[in-house]
Amino acid sequence: MIVRMWEARAEPYGVTDLITWVCDTALPEFEHDPMHLASEVFSSTDHRVVVISKWRSNPRPLPEPPPTLLARPAHSWDFTQVDR
């Protein structure tokens, strides 16, 4: 399994709109993908939005959010579970 963490910092006025965009536009684009297992969306008090998505393999990227909502470009990282 691969876990992708996607993070974007919203403009202070745009955090609610960014969350809406993630939930209503970005996630539905790949939730039907058979490699996609699950996604969760989080927000912080400093206007960050984080999506944690779990994939069987080959994670798909989220589309680019509307630039007017962002304080800086979004970033993503892939993780694999560590056996211990």
pLDDT tens readout for residues 26-52 = 999 888 999 999 999 999 999 999 999
Q: What is the mean pLDDT of the chain?
A: 95
Question: What share of the chain has pLDDT > 70, as a percent?
Answer: 100
Q: C-alpha 29: how far from its chain's center?
A: 12
SS3 81: coil
Quote the pLDDT of residue 15.
94
Domains of the chain plus CATH, in order, are: 2-80 (3.30.70.100)
Maximal CA-CA distance, the chain: 43
